[in-house]
Structure 1
């Protein structure tokens, strides 16, 4: 595999640092090269994403809402906590890192399945993990990534609640709970549900981003 330096970006203190690199892979998830995030599709390649569904006792699942200004699926709800896999990083390693960064929790995510997925910024390979939230877990969410979050009945999400909802997230929860036929290809991830009023559970946290 070959790699190249990413174009530097400027920090707030004026220093120049390399942009974060990710692995670009082919349609069979084989590494081809490395480059900056969000550019794999321009080369006809895929990037890798690791995400985790967090379940809690009593049939509950952690649902969160993306900030309205998020570049992808802004204002939508989701159950997938995750992001891009960094260059040289494993899917499981990335899943654990994302949980620590976005929720402030050290959990042991377990990979459930891996599938090719279309996304608004290009095709990717998505590895979906599962993690169990212990009773009384004290979440310390990244307020730049989670505008709102709560533990809600998984059945409510599968029944179409908490719209608008990221399609890939609902599909992952359905597959995780064996409520949906398994497949190796994604559904239409470009479809965005039309926002409508919905009942929300009592907030477990509030804040003042997809890979």
Structure 2
């Protein structure tokens, strides 16, 4: 089955399932669905960053600071987060990613909107990213990622998740 044929749950503005659709149709019609974003860090606390392959259905050849993807029909966010992290990093036995928060991303275009659950995970295993998903990858320190924000073209939903994650962490620091 191709990625475009994968069945997704279609959800409303409250993230309640209202139907199902093949992924390609959901994208083409801008139907609201679910996605997971997992921030992966290595033992040195560097962030996994990659450039997507040119064959990706959405945001081909752009950089991303998350691994992740769509949540399949009937799949939970938690299940999708572990599956996507292991698939994209090319590892097995990864710890279950920790849920941080969820937000509704609106592309502002025909692509529509999607509920986005943000997670984090520590990956101390050697990574072997999927060649069909990842054209380039590295673990980068936070200051280098921040420098690259203005230099590289990033996936817009990942960038939105990254900015929300920085605000989420800052709010957590202020609450202490």
TM range (shorter): 0.7 to 0.9
* 8 Å CA contact 2:37, 2:161 repeated in 1: no
Equivalent residue for 1:50, pick from 36, 40, 48: 36
Hey, what does 1:110 align to over in structure 2?
Answer: 98
User: Is 1:38 the equivalent of 2:24?
Assistant: yes
Larger RCO (CA under 8 A, 6+ residues apart): 2
Q: 1:76 to 1:44 in 2, by over 3 A?
A: closer
Q: RMSD over aligned Cα, in angstroms?
A: 2.6
Q: 1:58 to 1:171 in 2, by over 3 A?
A: farther
Normalised TM-score (structure 2): 0.80
Normalised TM-score (structure 1): 0.68
The secondary structure found in structure 2 opposite 1:39 is helix
The secondary structure found in structure 2 opposite 1:49 is strand
Structure whose residues are more often helix by fraction:
2
The offset of 1:45, in angstroms, is: 4.1
Runs of 5+ unmatched residues, structure 2: 172-176
* 8 Å CA contact 2:39, 2:120 repeated in 1: yes
Runs of 5+ unmatched residues, structure 1: 1-8, 12-18, 183-211
| Structure whose CA Rg is larger | 1
Deviates more, 1:143-152 or 1:63-72: 63-72
Equivalent residue for 1:141, pick from 121, 129, 147: 129
2-structure distance, mates of 1:44, 1:138: 37
